[in-house]
Amino acid sequence: MIHLWLPVALYMAAIFYGAGMSQTPGPAAQLSDTVLHMGGYVGLALVTLRATAGGRWRGVTGRALLYAFVIAVAHGAAVEIEQMFIPSRMAEWRDLGNDAIGAAAGLFAAWLVARWRWGKMNG
């Protein structure tokens, strides 16, 4: 079980760490805020789906997808709350929306791959 959830915890910690810095670090500063949020939450949603699906493509169910989405968006909300207390950062609804869009896009792509793989195994 830890092998499934440890990557989620590390990914979440990395986002919290980066979001807690007074300015966006290194090469990430060259990317738009929208790209950072969407891209970051595509990744978080995917590692979270891996955990909620038990590490199996067959485990990519509606429930696993929903749990992964809720966990990723809740983390995004927590990051925005964190940024309310960092003087050089701002909490924004737009950022949370971009987190949700990124998470949904990543999960939709994973769902498509899971359906394709399931079809190949049963076809």
For 24-83, the pLDDT digits (tens) are: 666 655 567 888 899 999 999 999 999 999 999 999 999 999 999 999 999 999 999 999
Handedness of CA 12, 18, 75, 71 (dihedral sign): negative
* Residue 88, pLDDT score: 83
* Residue 21, pLDDT score: 82
| Overall pTM > 0.85 | yes
Q: Phi then psi for 88, rounded to 5 degrees?
A: -90, 0
In whole angstroms, how large is the CA radius of gyration of the chain?
15
Q: Residues 12, 44: contact at Cβ < 8 Å?
A: yes
CA 6 to chain centre: 14
Collect contacts of 10-14 with beta carbons under 8 A, ≥24 apart.
11/43, 11/44, 11/47, 12/44, 12/75
pLDDT digits (tens, 9 = 90+) for 11-40: 999 999 988 887 766 665 556 788 889 999
